[in-house]
Amino acid sequence: MAFCRTELVADNYFHAVLEATKSVAEKLRNRTGLTDDGAALVDRALGGNPPMLAINQLKTESQLSEQRGFANLIKGMFGMFRNTTAHAPKVSWEMSKGDAEDLLTLASLVHRRLDAAIMPSRVSD
């Protein structure tokens, strides 16, 4: 909310969505120290073996699949909402209140999972 409260109060859903998606990239950078952006940031932070940030223990195929899916979800969110709002004029890309609310719910889920993510040891035992 800190990233998009002003825009929401003004019913500026286009820019609220842009700011909310940028907040996810900022969270990834703050948690990892990386300076990348977009898909490269997500791949470096959440990909690899082990990833810099893990949303679970990465011990089963299901957990590994969840980690990959989470990374893909964030990349999809960036592609659908951040990239579009960053490159399309507001008058050419309508953002409804309902869609904005759904994106904010998704951003909240992503933030909660990133807040709880662990940083696995990158050194073999």
Does residue 125 surpass a pLDDT of 50?
A: no
Q: For the residues of 28-97, what is the DSSP string, one character each?
A: HHHHH-----HHHHHHHHH-SSS-SSBSS---SHHHHHHHHHHHHHHHHHIIIIIHHHHHS-GGGS---H
pLDDT in the model for residue 8: 65
pLDDT in tens, 72-85: 999 999 998 887 76
pLDDT in tens, 16-34: 888 899 999 999 999 999 9
Q: By the 8 A CB rule, do 23 and 8 touch?
A: no
Across 90-100, average pLDDT: 82
Phi-psi region of 79 (alpha: psi -120 to 50; beta: other; left: phi over 0): alpha
> How large a percentage of the chain has pLDDT more than 70?
86
Across 100-112, average pLDDT: 94
